[in-house]
Structure 1
Amino acid sequence: MDEKTAQNAMQIILHAGDARVHCMNALKAIENSSFEKAKEEIKLANGEIVKAHHIQTNAISAETQGEAGTYSVLFAHAQDTLMTIYSEINIAKRMIKIFEVYEARLAKLEKAEMEDKYE
């Protein structure tokens, strides 16, 4: 494996790892019903995953344009890491929406219960 491929792989892993940290922070925020914080963390996660994806895309584009490319276990691992974390981010985004709806329904039920109690 050449040095450029190794550097690209490590940059992908670095950015994807940072994205995972933000994604996990978003999930912790969801646990605490801090949906705005969760959305901020997902935005940061997206920024990191986009950086990783650009590195991957540039590497693939270079190879399709004739630059010599060799198989690299490290680069394959980087791509796997990128796609796994990308999936985690998509699930976390959906969870934010699900729990926001859940919280709104709960608040509505609690409000109705309180109104019934005082009538």
Structure 2
Amino acid sequence: MDDALTKQAMNIILFAGDARVNCKNALIAVEKNDFELAKKEMKNARKNITEAHKIQTEVIQSEMGEEAKLQPHSLLFTHAQDTLMTIYSEINLANHLIKISERINERLVLLEKEQE
């Protein structure tokens, strides 16, 4: 594996890892009913996962076209792709959990107002 592919794989892992941290922070914010912070963290998670995905796309596209250069199999790049897709799934799930939690919280607030 060449140095460029190693660097690209590591950058995918780093951006995806940052996205995972953002996602986790968003869910912690939801536990505290801080939906604004959760949305901010999810925005950062999407930004980071998009950067990771761009790098992956560049690598894949480099193997196509007129100047195609087939890369040798790289366990590190495979790990990077796995990490990217796993965290992408976590982000999708967290987005749904945040929406559900926000709706539940809105209903609870309305019920509490009715109780007063």
TM-score, length-scaled by structure 2: 0.95
Match of 2:72 in 1: 70
Match of 2:114 in 1: 112
Match of 1:52 in 2: 52
Task: Report the alpha carbon displacement of residue 108 of structure 1 after superposing the two structures with TM.
Answer: 1.0
Tell me which amino acid in the other structure corresponds to 1:83. Answer: M
What do the CA deviations read for 1:21-64 (whole angstroms, capped 9, x no partner)?
A: 11110010010000000000000111110100000000000012
TM-score, length-scaled by structure 1: 0.93
Runs of 4+ in 1 over 6 A off after TM superposition: none
Q: How many residues align?
A: 114
Separation of aligned partners in 2, 1:110 and 1:25:
28
Match of 1:6 in 2: 6
Question: Which structure 1 segments of 5+ residues have no match?
Answer: 115-119
Match of 1:83 in 2: 85
Separation of aligned partners in 2, 1:87 and 1:64:
27
Task: Report the alpha carbon displacement of residue 104 of structure 1 after superposing the two structures with TM.
Answer: 0.7
Task: Report the alpha carbon displacement of residue 68 of structure 1 after superposing the two structures with TM.
Answer: 2.4
Separation of aligned partners in 1, 2:97 and 2:64:
37
**Higher-Rg member (1/2):** 1
Task: Report the alpha carbon displacement of residue 67 of structure 1 after superposing the two structures with TM.
Answer: 1.2
